[in-house]
Amino acid sequence: MSISKSGANIENLIDKAESGKDLRREDIIGLLKLPADFSPDLFAAADRVRHEQVGDEIYLRGIIEFSNYCERNCLYCGLRKSNSNLSRYRMTEDEIIATAQQIKKTGVPTVVLQSGEDSFYSQDIVCRLIERIRKETDLIITLSIGERALNDYKAFQQAGANRYLLKHETASRELYKYLRPGCDWENRLQSLRLLKALGFETGTGNMVGLPGQTPEILADDLLVMKLLDADMLGIGPFIAHPDTPLAGIENDELEITMRVLAVARLITRNTNIPATTALATIHPQGRLLALQAGANVVMPDFTPEIYKSRYDIYPGRKDVGSAEEIISRLEKDFQTIGRTINYGTGHRQIKK
């Protein structure tokens, strides 16, 4: 369908997306470029599909950002190797286990272990950590530690990791190459395919508002998410960090990020889609708005206070307080939109 200015055509397109019919690239571009008046209709359609496919309850994943060392130099990220203003840390194994135990105490059933690409954490070290967390807390484990070798992925899975988050970041090979010096888009995609084939619940996703990004590239991002049949989709606004080469770029990206998220829900149906911390960072209501436009997951940050501010990917992150305080704040926020927390594991759900 070509997008005309006619309201009827736009409504047809939103209806087509809501009904689950396959959308062509032009349809997706059309949804991303909708006149502003139609945004509420798009978000409401995504909200209905979220309700029908994954229910009303919100699933939590507790994040531990255990190392801010990184060997990469991504132009957008405050953890990049060349950022000499950052005070680096690595949590000890015991600190990580103690934090996982706090997450377990709050009732949150899954932990996301996140870090820069840090080869200090050899295959053996990561496996030992996974085994200890499984044994001492029984939490479901998601890794978000960047690209590793196939052998590593296999070993991590054998040790007990269940999920892996590796955002493709952007579907544009050129932009990817520019933003991630020395990295190759095809390798990233190959890792994602391997993870999926190994049986990991696999997460991908992108940043919205990158310099040089167009609605066409965003449509390709959405097609990558669909083609990979990813189980989780992390979609967040790019936020410029002052100590990176992309310092100073404005980030008024709430509306377009929510559109990408809403279309992701419409085309992937039953995936787990977090209302990202980055959305909560650029707008006080960002998290709740995303939860009403297709999102069904929240990933609170349980990194100990002494390290949290040093995991400085981008400025303005706010999840402060003890694990209990964070959960109780979320519960209250969710109540304001009539939603509650589900303390289940939140595996990708099959339509009821």
CB of 301 to ligand SF4, least distance (A): 15
Measured from the CB atom, the residue of 18 and 117 that comes closer to ligand SF4 is 117
Alpha-carbon distance of 286 to 69, in angstroms, equals 29
Q: Which residues contact 30 (CB under 8 A, 6 or more apart)?
A: 1, 2, 3, 10, 13
3-state class (DSSP) for residue 192: helix
CB of 206 to ligand SAM, least distance (A): 7
Alpha-carbon distance of 223 to 102, in angstroms, equals 38
Residue number of the CB atom closest to ligand SAM: 77
User: Judged by CB under 6 A, which stretch of 3-11, 72-80, 132-140, 201-209 contacts ligand SF4?
Assistant: 72-80
User: Judged by CB under 6 A, which stretch of 9-17, 68-76, 279-287, 328-336 contacts ligand SF4?
Assistant: 68-76
Alpha-carbon distance of 187 to 260, in angstroms, equals 24
**Of ligand SF4, ligand SAM, none, which one does residue 266 interact with (CB within 5 to 8 Å by kind)?**
none
Rule CB under 6 A: choose which of 74, 239, 289, 326 binds ligand SF4. Answer: 74
* Contact call for residue 118 and ligand SF4 (CB under 6 A): no
Rule CB under 6 A: choose which of 29, 32, 58, 77 binds ligand SF4. Answer: 77
User: Judged by CB under 6 A, which stretch of 58-66, 77-85, 156-164, 335-343 contacts ligand SF4?
Assistant: 77-85
| 299 phi and psi angles, rounded to 5 deg | -120, 80
Measured from the CB atom, the residue of 1 and 125 that comes closer to ligand SAM is 125
CB of 117 to ligand SF4, least distance (A): 5
Return the structure tokens found at 16: 């087509």
Buried b (16+ CB within 10 A) or exposed e, 79-107: bbeebeebeebbbeeebbbebbebbbebe
Please answer whether residues 204 and 185 qualify as being in contact, where contact means their C-beta atoms are separated by less than 8 angstroms: no
Alpha-carbon distance of 247 to 241, in angstroms, equals 5
What is the footprint of ligand SAM within residues 59-118 (CB under 6 A)? 76-77, 79, 114, 116-117
Measured from the CB atom, the residue of 30 and 146 that comes closer to ligand SF4 is 146
Query: β-strand 62-67 against 110-115: which pairing, if any?
Result: parallel
Q: Which residues bind ligand SF4 (CB under 6 A)?
A: 70, 72, 74, 77, 79-80, 116-117, 146
